[in-house]
Amino acid sequence: MKKLLNQLFEGNKLSRDDIKGLSRELFDPSTSESEIASVLTALRVRGETPEEITGIVEVLREKAMPIEKNIPHITDNCGTGGDGSHSFNISTTSAFVLAGAGARVAKHGNRSVSSKTGSADVLEELGVALDFSGNEVEELLETNGIAFLFAPHVHHQLKPIMKVRNALGVPTIFNLIGPLTNPVTLETQFLGVYQRDMLMKMATVLHKLGRKRAIVVNGAGYMDEASLAGENHLVLLEDGELIPFTLKPEDVDLPTYSNEQIVGGDAKENARILESVLNGEPSAYLDTVLLNAGLGLFASGLADNAKDGIDKARQSIESGAAKEKLNYLVRYSQTRKQAMSS
């Protein structure tokens, strides 16, 4: 570790093999908190390369809860968080719309970090379990087209790292890589980032991780979601090519709203908002989900473009298909809980 750490402090870039070796040492119980802090600080000061991000993600996925079955055509739409917008649970709500439109979604998420309520908080409020086993995740993906993977449950090895992260109190590489560490093998992905200058870098990482197709977005107001407040900046990964583009509300026939109009609340309030969207109640929340779900369908290859994706997302909601995906997940969780308590 000392040799590689010295290379980092000297400003040198590590190869994927070197960063993977260093990462395995990071997660070794014998590694001290000061050593962990030194690695995270050195990477942060110099700036993480796509190779280094990819290597760390690969090691995290190696050590995650195993998902044995190779289920095709899986996507995820988890964002990095960190934008400080305190928005409602856009990607979580959108995930059910994606599933209702025919996508197969392994929704990876956590409790609140930068928002008022994280995906796990709102889903728990709705009655969804947070501790599905690998077999249960596989079953849900095959029967319901959507499963939830609670990050701390599937990444036990991260506890010491999280302790150091909290003590440092500054952003580290782990603020970026959460959405990349889904233990399910993803074919496509819609990824939101709060740093606009990371768009190409994160798209490059997705390519290195084997995504066949993906979109990375930084929204108007620097949100880690697509926003209806103005111009969104995106990169499309298609056939190994990275294609930057921009998108405004008027480009897809949606109204403009300020980001203040999509602020959320506590878990109970955000659960109400989520259900109102899946019930098709007109609002800034609904239109924001249509935009993000539409882009998610475009990213997954189920729509020809963003506008086509929005039309398919609207049909997912209006038909009741999106709401039924949530209802199924809640029923499954309740039946499971009853079986475990009997």
Do the annotations mark residue 110 as ligand-binding?
A: yes
232 is annotated as contributing to ligand binding: no
What 3-state class would DSSP assign to 74? strand
Residue 311: alpha-carbon gap to chain centroid: 23
Residue 79 labeled ligand binder: yes
319 is in an annotated binding site: no
Strand partners, 147: 106
Is there a binding annotation on residue 225? yes
- 114 assigned to a ligand binding site: yes
- Is 124 labeled as ligand-binding? no
Edge-to-edge strand ranges of the sheet holding 188-192: 188-192, 213-218, 232-238, 241-247
165 is in an annotated binding site: yes
Nearest to 16 by CA among 54, 44, 42: 54
Q: Give the Cα separation of 227 and 180 in Å (integer).
A: 22
Q: How far apart are CA 242 and CA 215, in angstroms?
A: 9
Report the C-alpha gap between 119 and 105 in whole angstroms.
14
Check whether 108 is labelled as a binding-site residue: yes
- 82 assigned ligand-binding residue: yes
Residue 89 labeled ligand binder: yes
- Tokens 């298609």 sit on residue: 238
266 annotated as belonging to a binding site for a ligand: no
Annotated binding-site positions for 5-phospho-alpha-D-ribose 1-diphosphate:
79, 82-83, 87, 89-92, 107-115, 119
Annotated binding-site positions for anthranilate:
79, 110, 165
Annotated binding-site positions for Mg(2+):
91, 224-225
Annotated binding-site positions:
79, 82-83, 87, 89-92, 107-115, 119, 165, 224-225
